[in-house]
Amino acid sequence: MRILVIDDQQEYRLMLRDILMSHQWDVLMASNGEEGFHRLSSDEVDLVISDIYMPVMDGIRLHKKVRATPQWATLPFLFVSGFDDEHTRNAVQDPRVDGFFRKSAPIAELVEWVTYLTTPLAKRTRVPPGATPPSRNAPPVTDAP
């Protein structure tokens, strides 16, 4: 599996690369959304992990551009950010956003996100990583309104 990591902080990119490579995943890197989009155009990628706030092209604009490109319309896309404010949470509320990982969260959760997003939809659990599973006393989850 090949993962594209896009973040303007070199130290964070390198840390993610090392963690992901320790799980035997191939990693490509880019420092902003524009560079990341060019990497997508030239390399086959199975998952994008992108920071939200970056110079040149931010992650939100990159995500819109990726989703507008038919060949990548369903490419798994995980946002990461060091920010956890209302503006950031609202930015990732788009239903086409696959996931959001806070940089302050345990790294094991990032690995869970990668595994979750690269698992076929039909085989995924209903509860994404980092979410609180329903309690035993809660009513069953249904798709009906």
CATH label of the domain that carries residue 59: 3.40.50.2300
Write the pLDDT tens digit of every residue in 68-82: 999 998 899 888 876
3-class secondary-structure state, position 22: helix
Which helix (H) or strand (E) segment is 111 a member of? helix 107-117
Residue 27 within a domain: yes
Residue 136 within a domain: no
How many domains does the chain contain in total? 1
Q: What is the pLDDT of residue 73?
A: 86
Residue 80 within a domain: yes
Residue 82 within a domain: yes
Write the pLDDT tens digit of every residue in 30-63: 999 999 999 999 999 999 999 888 889 888 899 9
Structure tokens at 80: 């990461």
Question: pTM of the prediction?
Answer: 0.80
Alpha-carbon dihedral angle through residues 33, 34, 39, 42, given to the nearest 10 degrees: 150
For residue 78, which of 145, 20, 14 has the smallest C-alpha distance? 20
Structure tokens at 36: 């990341």
Residue 44 within a domain: yes
Residue 72 within a domain: yes
Mean pLDDT of the chain: 80
What domain range includes position 113?
2-123
